[in-house]
Homo-oligomer: A and B are copies of this chain.
């Protein structure tokens, strides 16, 4: 019997196991021990491990990141949490100038085993300052690892691997994944950082996705199947280091690629995917690679515009069809779910 768990619970279980497994691990962040427990991911941990190991903090993102770094230098393994990526911008200096570089710039003498969880907001008016998804920034910085799980299984396994890693890891969670459910084994297991995964096999094109976009890609693949198109989906899982080999192997096979992104198109991570494909498997390409990403504007708050802001399965399928020169099956072109477009599922009733 497979064990099913929600994504948020999978994170919670990973934290729990890491705390139990290594006394050096501690969890810190605004609201970590609060009654809602960061969307459920930290619930119960303070009760179990005490307020020294599972702790709230002042609204001082920059300083507290420095504190976490300092504690890591002397042997601790902090896990810091930000409820939105956007808040972590106050800590960019510490993350990029300091955490990412201490190992290198001291000739290997120091190490910063720090995990920083950052949550990407979306829907229900999250708007311009609560919805950014800046994996491309972190992926640009040597010294950082960047992880973006799409499934509960990967969330748990990658978080454990991140906590056990001796380098700083940016662990990006999409708010719309917290409620999804999937198979999650009990106990400690690792999903290796730097390994992508083929989540669906197909012969006609490769869709390269990450995090929540993997789900949209799966939905798009269903739409495409109705047109007789079989999409292969690669979930990169880790954006730095990138599993280039797996992506390229898939594109070599299919000859076509669409790279998805949870962020803006220009200079986003999908650009890196497309660039590598163009550089490395050019001769195997049957059509130019494509991207499906956010349009070039800040996130509008009103649902009227937010609903046109995020690329959905139908948009991905449309890009794929264009690439293949396939006409869409009219009936399926616009999936009529009846759901409002600014919530992941009907259980989500705002405000967050």
Contacts and interface: CB of A to CB of B under 8 A. Distances in A.
A221 to B, nearest CB: 22
A263 B142 contact: no
A129 interface: yes
A264 to B, nearest CB: 6
Copies per assembly:
2
A57 interface: no
B278 A267 contact: no
A264 B92 CA distance: 17
A136 B296 CA distance: 15
A90 B132 CA distance: 18
Residue with the highest number of chain B CB atoms closer than 10 Å, among A137, A139, A277, A282: A137
Given A105-B127, A127-B105, A140-B136, A279 B288 contact: yes
A92 B132 CA distance: 13
Interface string A283-316: 1010111110000111011000000000000000
A250 to B, nearest CB: 17
A34 to B, nearest CB: 23
A289 B263 CA distance: 24
Interface range, A side: 35 or more
Interface string A252-277: 00000000000110111111101101
A173 to B, nearest CB: 20
A209 interface: no
Given A271-B275, A275-B278, A297-B104, A264 B93 contact: no
Nearest to A95: B89
B137 A301 contact: no
A158 to B, nearest CB: 19
Contact of A129 (B101, B141, B267): B101
Contacts of A290: 279
A128 B102 CA distance: 9
B101 A263 contact: no
Given A266-B272, A298-B104, A86 B90 contact: no
A240 interface: yes
B140 A301 contact: no
B266 A139 contact: yes
A266 B242 contact: yes
A97 interface: yes
Contact of A279 (B93, B282, B291): B291
A143 interface: yes
Contacts of A296: 142
Interface string A68-98: 0000000000000000001001101100110
18 contacts: A89-B93, A90-B93, A97-B128, A97-B129, A100-B298, A104-B297, A105-B129, A105-B301, A141-B264, A270-B275, A271-B271, A274-B278, A275-B275, A275-B289, A277-B278, A279-B288, A279-B289, A282-B287
Interface of A: 62, 86, 89-90, 92-93, 96-97, 100-101, 104-105, 127-129, 132, 134, 136-137, 139-143, 240, 242, 263-264, 266-272, 274-275, 277-280, 282-283, 285, 287-291, 296-298, 300-301
Given A275-B289, A280-B288, 4 more contacts: A89-B96, A101-B129, A274-B275, A278-B289
